[in-house]
Amino acid sequence: MKTITGGVCAAKGFTAGGIHCGIRKNKTKKDLSLIYSEKIASAAAVYTQNLVQGAPIAVTKKHIEDGYAQAIICNSGNANTCNVNGTEIAEMTCELLSKKLGVNESDIIVASTGVIGLPMDIQPIENGIPELINSLSRSGSDSAAEGIMTTDTKKKEVAVEFELGGKKCRIGGIAKGSGMIHPNLATMLVFITTDVSISPDMLKTALSSDVSETFNMLSIDGDTSTNDMVVVLANGMAGNKTIKEKDDDFAVFMKALNTITVTLCKMIAGDGEGATKLLECIVTGAGSKKTAKTVAKSVICSSLLKAAMFGADANWGRVLCAIGYSGAKVNVGKIDVSFKSNAGEVLVCKNGNGVDFSEELASKILSENEIDILISLGKGKQGATAWGCDLTYDYVKINGDYRT
């Protein structure tokens, strides 16, 4: 497994691009992105579990019912959610792109991100599609990643190379996400492309299984949004034997997919709105996977703990508190807690009780920009990891006037 450049264009047969079409007032920010596969691709997606969903989600679900797609178009600046004509605009976007790009309308995935409930006009998209298609290139992943950003401060893209049956394969992805992020997906869009040959059913199995351990273990602020989706396209151009069952090749593919998703999870968490620190909560010694995940999620979602991490305060009692109200069945008398970073590691709780530790060392450890919260439940062999960030003054500033 080797990390490479190229993002969503790393795999054979994929091009991408991004432009400013006029949805966003700031002309220096791209607001329309496109990812295109030379060949029809197996497609799989998962979506937000919020009952209020953006119109593009319904259209995308319908388009990939057959398990195939060839292009992804996404705008930023307007979520196309809770609009009377939202479905019409999403469908028109696909229709307009279909005519200019030469692919079936039903093979287009459409997505949007931005302000909820803002009236939307198809005109900027219609005017921008010719330029958008012209922007497609093998080096266009960077532009596509920029075009889906909202409050993100950093572009998020990654790719890896690996082998299946002697064939060189690649998988890459781009993502956006900074706020309104909570387990069960959130305001994030993740687009992943691969040249692996895999059946739609197995691709769906792979994605669903992976998401439960990655994107559904990610939280920024406890809010689950309306538009998020994670999409994977696999066009088979690597030439490997088609994966149709859970065999050794499927296991290798799962590892490659997980490498992409974990990397993007960390990028999203580290770029949380106003965040200064990436938090990774690693739970071990759980009696069941469910218990481990419940504990990890509860700790990473604790506003009090997130605030303590911002202040570099080793307030480990907030970790115990979050475990206590999580609903997980644990033996408090066996819980150990440590904080770790590039500056070192410090044990702050042993068997559910405080221990003597250096506040100076703890503060130094928690002043780093990546912090591990290590929790041992001391009961079993199961574990889980969750990702999040600290809670800062800037989070309130960003969201206090986000719409206006």
192 touches 8 (CB < 8 A): yes
What is the Cα–Cα distance from 265 to 262, expressed in whole angstroms? 5
387 touches 353 (CB < 8 A): no
Q: Look at strands 370-376 and 188-194 and give their pairing.
A: unpaired
What is the Cα–Cα distance from 47 to 204, expressed in whole angstroms? 12
Q: Is 137 helix (H, G, I), strand (E, B) or coil?
A: strand
Name the active-site residue from 81, 113, 151, 187.
Answer: 187
The tally of CA atoms less than 13 A away on the side-chain side of residue 307 is: 6
Measured in Å, how far apart are the chain's first and last C-alpha atoms?
Answer: 45
Question: Is 187 one of the catalytic residues?
Answer: yes
What is the Cα–Cα distance from 89 to 112, expressed in whole angstroms? 11
Q: Look at strands 2-4 and 14-19 and give their pairing.
A: unpaired
Supply the residues annotated as catalytic.
Answer: 187
